[in-house]
Structure formats: C-alpha cells, structure tokens
Amino acid sequence: MTRTYKNYINGKWVRSRTGECFENINPANTGDVIGRFQKSDREDVEQAIASAFNARKQWRDTPAPRRGEILFRVAELLVKEKESLARDMTREMGKILAETRGDVQEAIDLTYYTAGEGRRMAGDTVPSELDKKFCMSVRMPLGVVGCITPWNFPLAIPSWKLIPALVTGNTVVIKPATATPLTVVNFIKIFEKAGLPPGVLNMVTGFGSDVGWPMVEHPKVNLVSFTGSFDTGSQIAAGCASHMKQFSLEMGGKNAIIVMDDADLELTVEGILFGAFGTTGQRCTACSRVIVHHKVQKKLTALLVKRAKALRLGDGLNSKVDVGPLINEEAQKKVELYIKIGKKEGAKLLCGGGVPKGRGLGKGFFFEPTVFTDVSPHMRIAQEEIFGPVVSLITCRSFDQAIEIVNDSRYGLSSAIYTRDVNKAFQAIQELDTGITYINASTIGAEIQLPFGGTKGTGNGHREAGTTALEIFTEWKSVYVDYSGKLQKAQIDT
Ligand code: NAD
C-alpha cells in the first residue's frame, strides 16, 4: 500500500486541512509510486508560520553553541543514514546512486562546517572616536525564514538553507519541491531525532502557488530564501519587494566550458561529459555550452561524440547506469522541443536528440545524451536553460572571442576553461562574468566551504554556503557602550 506522509508543524506530523494529497512517482519507472504527500494550502502555511513565530524567542535565546550542538547531531545522523537517504532520493528524482550519495555528502559537509558557526559567528570590535566608549557589531537572527527549494538537489539545497538559518537563531518554514518531498521528510525526521525543539523547523508540502506564495505574502516571514528557476525567482523578488521583505535568490545558469587549442583533450572530454550529462543535465551548473578553439574542434568533437554515445541510460539504482531519467514528462517534452528548435535554427545534431527506445526505458522519462555542433552564440539553444542532457558546441577563433561568447548570457553561474597556459587561465578568472570559475575542471563540483552563487540573472548578489551564507540569514547590529558616565557626542566632542 502506498504510504501517506504528513506535514511537520510545531513538532507534530499533521494532515493538511485540505484533506487532499498528491502522488509522487519514480521518474525511472512511472508504475512505482513513492508516496502520497499533503496537498497543503494557505491555511496550513499560516499554521506553520505561527508555530515558527512562537518558537522564535526561545530559539534566538538558546546560546548559539547549543544550537550548533543539535546541528552536529544532525550531521552525525546524516552520516549514519547516508545510504538509505541516497536510495530514496534516486527513487524519488532519478539521478544515479553515486550522485545522490554525493548530494547527501554535500549536506553532511555543509552541516559539520556550518554547525561550527555556533562557536564562531564573529562580528567586529572597532575603536571608538571617544574615550571610555566601546564599539562592536554582532549578528542578529532575522526571525522567521521561509525556504523554497527545487528538486534537483533534494537534500543538499535544503541543507544550504536550513543549517545556516538555524545556527544563526532563525526559525524556519520549508516548502520542498513538489517532485521531491520524501527527501525533505527524511531530513526533518533527522532534525527531530537530533532534538530540535518543536516549532523551530516546520515543513509544508504542496504546490508553489498554494504553499510557496503565501510565505512570500505573509507579514511574519522576514526572509524568503529561494532556489529554482529564473521565472519563479523573479515573481518571488517582486512579491518580496512589494512587502518590503528580504529575499535571497539562486536561479538558473547557461554554463560554458572554454576549450583552448593547448588543452588536454582527453581530460576536457571527461569534464564535458560529467558537466553536460551528470544528473541528466539537470544541474544549475550543468555545462550546456562548449566554446571550442577551431584548431582542436574536429578532434574534440570526435572524442566527445564517441563517449556520449557510449553512456548507458537506465534506473539510477542500477550501478551500471551512467545517466538516469529526466524529472517528469513535462521536462522530457521541453527537451524534445529544444531539439526541434536547435535543428530549425540550423544547428547540426551529432548524436542523441530523442527519447530512447531501449529495454525498460519506456517506463521512465529518459532522454538520449545529445550533442549539437555548428551552434552560433545567439541561437536559443545557446542562450536558454534547457535543463536536460544537451550540449552545444560553438567554435571560436581566439581566447578573447571565447570570453565574449561565454559572457553573452543572461545568466552568470559557472564557467570553466581547459588550457595549459597559466596566463590565459588567470585572464579567464579575471574576465569571465560568473560567480564560479574552474580551471581544467568541469563547471560542476562546488565545495561547501566556498561561496556559491552567480551574477546577473542567476541571483541577487547573495552567496550561499561558505561563511557568506551568514550574510543572508543574519542582520548586523552595531553596539555602542559608553562607560564614561557622561553624555559624549560623536562628531561633536573631539
Ligand atoms: P521552479 O522555479 O519551478 O521551482 C522551485 C520551487 O519554487 C519549488 O519548490 C516550486 O514549487 C516553488 N514555486 C513554484 N512557483 C512558485 C510561486 N509562484 N511562488 C512560490 N514558490 C513557487 O524550479 P525547479 O524546476 O524546481 O528547479 C530547477 C531550476 O532551479 C533551474 O532553473 C535550476 O537552474 C535552478 N537551480 C538553481 C540553483 C542555484 O543554486 N543557482 C541550484 C539548483 C537549481
């Protein structure tokens, strides 16, 4: 029998007031129903926010090292449950087991790293211009944080938001992606086991407009932390701005690898395959453009196409599989449409381009790893985020032209260059307008101790992970302590 999962509000597992549920299915096998989840609405969100609001003072007043201790226990439980979390995740969203294990590992790394902020979270002390006056700045929690997350990193991305929000003393309501609620339910159970007090973290499942949007509009939510598409992100930005509330946005990418004429081509092809077809191309940092120097274009293309054709598609739980399915039928149709668009625009299809016919593949939303060549920088396939296993080869004649092509994008998340020329590598770091740049490595593979995010249409200037996450989830308070026993006037008493 299909299991029904509930919302988590004020430390209790509760049904939605709507009395309705939605089904979550395995994208590798549509006959496999993962579970039934609450199809919640505004009233459920209202309850969850009230619970977070009421828990706010107690959590804020809990010493930060104590908050950190609970989160260290979360990290330990993630380690213990890594395999079952990864297996549920592969079944729920399709990416191969090696990658879902990586997703859990990222959450483990982030949790250990960020829980330590409970004993750091440093501010500044600076001298005063007056005698017997002490000046410092301290971080303050914002209050109630609403987190809205996507499905492609079902555990890692929630961890990027929940752990820094909680260690800094905020209380939280999370709305998981509609396609991956099970992983977040599993995560919430871990917080529960770790001893997080009731009300500090709440979860409401459902659709974006029914659950996400009420968080944007609610006056008691102080910050909305969102990761997802550009279109949803810009609606959220406008909504938050009209309610004068803070927001952080992590959105799409159109990431590129530059291949110079001195590149190690075997290594480059490994990087392109990993970047373009890992997670079936459904990473915000996926490599979807390769800007290749004309002198090595022929050789690189031949190597890449040979390897792309050899990738094995199937259920990600099978260890022989390289590429899992797309997330759903809508995604499959979207990728198919982009193949048509690419052909119509005059790009040449070198391999893939369709829904595969192999044994067992008809039960899932699979798509062949696809390589286009003869792509020009302004084609739609070179500008729009396809979010599938499609990579476009664009030929360039010089380093400067390559940089220009990469930067000619509405997005600015990740970029890479393969070259043995150290001068070119450093020039690329300086000139590529992206939040992340890799040298002789693919566009994917961020580590949690560094800031994560992008420029232009990818974000609104914040960076998650690293210590920069603290900037999102705290506000500065400047404190002046006058111990002179008299009225002292800054700028006046000199
Ligand atoms: P999406 O925008 O469709 O959904 C993201 C979340 O927003 C989901 O939980 C969804 O239910 C919710 N939502 C949808 N409409 C809403 C509304 N009107 N109000 C409030 N919430 C709403 O994105 P997706 O398809 O889940 O994820 C894929 C996108 O996420 C891609 O564009 C990808 O590049 C991006 N992404 C970015 C990063 C990053 O860190 N930059 C990381 C992963 C994914």
Once rounded to an integer, what is the mean pLDDT over residues 142-147? Answer: 98
Is the distance from CB of 256 to CB of 431 less than 8 angstroms? no
Question: Of 409, 439, 469, which one is at a domain's C-terminal end?
Answer: 439
Cross-strand pairs, 79? none
Task: Name the residue at shortest CA distance from atom 37 of ligand 1.
Answer: 251
Q: Is the pLDDT of residue 359 over 90?
A: no
pLDDT band at 1 (very low <50, low <70, confident <90, very high): confident
Q: Establish if 450 belongs to a structural domain.
A: no
Q: Is the pLDDT of residue 494 over 80?
A: no
| Cβ neighbour number for residue 31 with a 10 Å cutoff | 8
Given the structure tokens 């988590």, which residue do they identify? 8
Distance, in Å, from the CA atom of 464 to the CA atom of 449, rounded to the nearest integer, reads: 10
Range of the domain at 285: 255-439
Q: In the sheet where 4-5 sits, what is the strand order?
A: 4-5, 29-38, 21-26
Task: Say whether 150 sits in a helix, a strand or coil.
Answer: coil
Q: What is the pTM of this model?
A: 0.97
pLDDT band at 247 (very low <50, low <70, confident <90, very high): very high
Residue 52, pLDDT score: 98
- At 179, the amino acid letter reads A
pLDDT band at 358 (very low <50, low <70, confident <90, very high): confident
Query: In this predicted model, what pLDDT tens digit does every residue of 260-314 receive, in sequence order?
Result: 999 999 999 999 999 999 999 999 999 999 999 999 999 999 999 999 999 999 9
pLDDT band at 211 (very low <50, low <70, confident <90, very high): very high
| Cβ neighbour number for residue 475 with a 10 Å cutoff | 15
- At 368, the amino acid letter reads E
Burial string for 95-118 (b: 16+ CB within 10 Å, else e) reads bbbebbbbbbbbbbbbbbbbbebb
Residue 259, pLDDT score: 98
330 classed as catalytic = no
Distance, in Å, from the CA atom of 103 to the CA atom of 12, rounded to the nearest integer, reads: 27
Is the distance from CB of 54 to CB of 64 less than 8 angstroms? no
Task: Name the residue at shortest CA distance from atom 10 of ligand 1.
Answer: 208
| Residue in 250, 368, 464, 471 annotated catalytic | 250
What DSSP designation does 473 have? H
The CATH number assigned to the domain holding 192 equals 3.40.605.10
pLDDT band at 140 (very low <50, low <70, confident <90, very high): very high
Residue 360, pLDDT score: 83
| 292 and 220 within one domain | no
Residue 185, pLDDT score: 98
Q: Establish if 490 belongs to a structural domain.
A: no
The CATH number assigned to the domain holding 418 equals 3.40.309.10
At a CB cut-off of 8 Å and minimum separation 6, what does 337 contact?
none
Task: Name the residue at shortest CA distance from atom 43 of ligand 1.
Answer: 284
| 470 and 420 within one domain | no
Q: Which pair of structure tokens corresponds to residue 483?
A: 């111990």
Triad 17, 21, 23: Cα angle to 5°: 165
| 165 and 264 within one domain | no
| Residue in 21, 147, 240, 284 annotated catalytic | 284
pLDDT band at 106 (very low <50, low <70, confident <90, very high): very high
Once rounded to an integer, what is the mean pLDDT over residues 353-359? Answer: 91
% of the chain with per-residue pLDDT over 70: 100
| 347 and 241 within one domain | no
Distance 393 CA to ligand 1 centre (A): 27
% of the chain with per-residue pLDDT over 90: 99
With 0-12 / 13-18 / 19 or more C-beta atoms within 10 angstroms meaning exposed / middle / buried, residue 162 is buried
Q: Among 152, 288, 333, which residue has the most ligand 1 atoms within 8 Å of its CB, making it the best to mutate?
A: 152
Q: Establish if 318 belongs to a structural domain.
A: yes
Query: In this predicted model, what pLDDT tens digit does every residue of 383-427 receive, in sequence order?
Result: 999 999 999 999 999 999 999 999 999 999 999 999 999 999 999
Q: Is the pLDDT of residue 440 over 90?
A: yes
Pocket of ligand 1 (CB under 6 A): 148-153, 157, 175, 177-178, 207-209, 212-213, 216, 227-229, 232, 235-236, 250-253, 284, 385, 387, 413, 458
Residue 386, pLDDT score: 98
Distance, in Å, from the CA atom of 147 to the CA atom of 201, rounded to the nearest integer, reads: 11
135 classed as catalytic = no
Distance, in Å, from the CA atom of 374 to the CA atom of 350, rounded to the nearest integer, reads: 10
